A and B are shown apart, each in its own frame.
Chain A
């Protein structure tokens, strides 16, 4: 792991290599400082002497590649209000090399998070047992959402056998559309929910992992465990801003075929969105209210 000082120097180096020809020293310093501030949260292993800086770590908000801009400060300031890839300049009517590569890097992370599986070691380390939906592989998962909403036969048996019956709250984890999101956030969110619920004296069931899961499979799980509240932590379809965004879907007495509007959703859980520990506390709070008001989704008035 690199420390903060090393990170600053990597970012300084990347920025130094970018074309910011007309920017005076003071302003350049400001841009660098802003970039480095954002960089602090990106700790990356493997950065060392003689290694090119990681282009995926550059914050697009602070990157400004337009050559000889008329009023760089004013647009730089406006750009801070947008996560879009702005101020990227051009090479003819095409992209400059650095933003081109950054885009490719972000897309590669997004695709990998969809098409890879959650590491079985991670599931083991989390002390979870693993069940599967009726999807047999990733392709089937992506093309047959109906099969991803039902557990396979062994899965049904395993949940019946291993899970405590009639808990107030059943929590489980599922890969969904981003394995990276689950591995980045689920451990902290789960811990935080459990701590929160414990402080409210609410008891939880046996957590487990569902492979190739769509959100809807939670209703079958509710029926099998006879939980009052069911909560799934599931990977969201990744965008290029982050491939690590996770959501929690929560129902009160869910049933197969229930309207989607009856689910409560906490989305955008990742290190640049709602941070995991905070999300977990918020979810525990929501569950407490659901149990009190006996409702979820649009039926729940918070």
Chain B
């Protein structure tokens, strides 16, 4: 492995592949915080030039955390298809980049190659891609998954309905649920981040979601994004009806420990969903990730945040999830400083997720201490649709009153579908038409009137008198 190059008359000699990988990243405040970023723009390019000559085999042999020490590494390495790996192992990262972009390389061929890729390879090629490369490459790859409905089909674009509430108030949550569905959100999942992470409360919300879904015959899936153990308890002790099981994950064992999880725990959760979950499946898991979480729990082993993020997807695919999304701008400016870094990271994460073979969405978002605003996030959302992203979030006017950050609003998915000529998941699309909220893929004047769900309720009550 050659770790030395000259560029613009200067000689650069890197000490390790880890250093090359870190310095080859586009500028991120988190890599600076970790004190591993390139010193300047030239050194960054020198690192990219060195990385372009590294082979995929060399990347496989240098996982970010040693196999013996880390179960995430073990899961990624043990899951590889060795036959497919051998077909690509002699390629350099530069050649692999061109292979992905080549007109003869179809999305199906990339998806097949994906089974022989470790996360370090996925991260490495991402570092050599410009933003348009990331969009171009990701757009080729189609990843579908099935829970009650099938997400990721060509021509579709979906949204999670995220009805978060400051106190988990049942009426307040349902008000958001109604308005979200009336605007065409929720075909990916109806999923709430609870304030109260107790099994009893989680079960209560899951029951109310299930009841609403059944009453209105909505073809979608439900989830409450509590800790995996809480959800398991809600299902076992309180008979909660759950279509998807959620968990935040990290790219190292130590990072997962900070989230209070292990691989075995996720396996147990998935087994429970197979036996007692309400969904038809087979994909019954939902994961969230985000660059920087490993550094924030000192679980990055000296590696850069992009590589650690790639490892989240390598870990996630083991559990055949229905949904995986990066919560890209939630972590704050010490990891992603401004809109430029957030947009870049959103495109990187989406590309890496798809290249790892998972059904990928993105919570395009920002906090108020970051130098970004709603215009930036609308830009990112548009770029993600161009890249073939499976889903984004839907929050009332993009303002999450509980998590205190801004994401994409209920109106965004609908607008993006109209702009790009896309539709929701077919069954959900038909349901929207049946309800009168959309016609031929466009919102009707009735869309946004959440009171439709109450009107019917009242009429039924009157009928009963």
Q: Does A240 contact B (CB under 8 A)?
A: yes
**In angstroms, how far is the closest chain B Cβ from the Cβ of A144?**
7
Q: Known pairs A94-B415, A146-B33, A239-B399; list 7 more (Cβ under 8 Å).
A: A69-B449, A93-B415, A103-B374, A240-B368, A240-B399, A240-B404, A240-B406
Contact status B179-A237, CB under 8 Å:
no
Q: Does B260 contact A (CB under 8 A)?
A: no
**Cβ contacts under 8 Å, A177 to chain B:** 369
**Cβ contacts under 8 Å, A142 to chain B:** 332-334, 337, 369
Contact status B175-A143, CB under 8 Å:
no
**Cβ contacts under 8 Å, A104 to chain B:** 374
Residues of B within 8 A of A (CB): 29, 32-33, 163-166, 169, 171-176, 178-179, 183, 332-334, 337, 367-369, 373-374, 396-399, 401, 404-406, 409, 411, 414-415, 417-418, 442-443, 445, 447-452, 454-455, 457-458
Interface residue range, chain A: 35 or more
When C-beta atoms are compared, the residue in chain A nearest to B375 turns out to be A104
Contact status B451-A66, CB under 8 Å:
yes
**Cβ contacts under 8 Å, A81 to chain B:** 169, 171-172, 175
Q: Does A162 contact B (CB under 8 A)?
A: no
A114-B399 CB under 8 A given contacts A84-B165, A92-B443, A103-B374: no
A84-B447 CB under 8 A given contacts A114-B369, A142-B369, A237-B369: no
**Cβ contacts under 8 Å, A99 to chain B:** 397
Contact status B397-A111, CB under 8 Å:
no
Other-chain contact of A75, B374, B415, B442, B450 (Cβ < 8 Å):
B450
Q: Does A90 contact B (CB under 8 A)?
A: yes
Instruction: Give the interface centre of B178, B443, B450 by most chain A CB atoms within 10 Å.
Output: B450
Contact status A86-B175, CB under 8 Å:
yes
**Cβ contacts under 8 Å, B163 to chain A:** 84
Contact status B447-A74, CB under 8 Å:
no
Contact status B404-A85, CB under 8 Å:
no
**Cβ contacts under 8 Å, B333 to chain A:** 142-143
Contact status B411-A82, CB under 8 Å:
no
**Cβ contacts under 8 Å, A103 to chain B:** 374, 397-399
When C-beta atoms are compared, the residue in chain B nearest to A243 turns out to be B368
Contact status B451-A71, CB under 8 Å:
yes
When C-beta atoms are compared, the residue in chain A nearest to B417 turns out to be A93
Contact status A107-B373, CB under 8 Å:
yes
Other-chain contact of A74, B398, B399, B406, B454 (Cβ < 8 Å):
B454
**In angstroms, how far is the closest chain A Cβ from the Cβ of B344?**
16
Other-chain contact of B368, A93, A94, A239 (Cβ < 8 Å):
A239
**Cβ contacts under 8 Å, B176 to chain A:** 82, 84, 86
Contact status B411-A110, CB under 8 Å:
no
17 contacts between A and B (CB under 8 A): A67-B445, A71-B451, A72-B451, A75-B450, A78-B178, A82-B401, A84-B175, A85-B401, A86-B450, A87-B179, A88-B397, A88-B448, A107-B406, A143-B334, A239-B399, A239-B401, A240-B401
**Cβ contacts under 8 Å, A82 to chain B:** 165, 169, 171-173, 175-176, 401
Q: How far is it, in angstroms, between the C-alpha of A178 and the C-alpha of B452 when the chains are bound?
A: 40
Q: How far is it, in angstroms, between the C-alpha of A66 and the C-alpha of B445 when the chains are bound?
A: 10
Q: How far is it, in angstroms, between the C-alpha of A66 and the C-alpha of B455 when the chains are bound?
A: 14
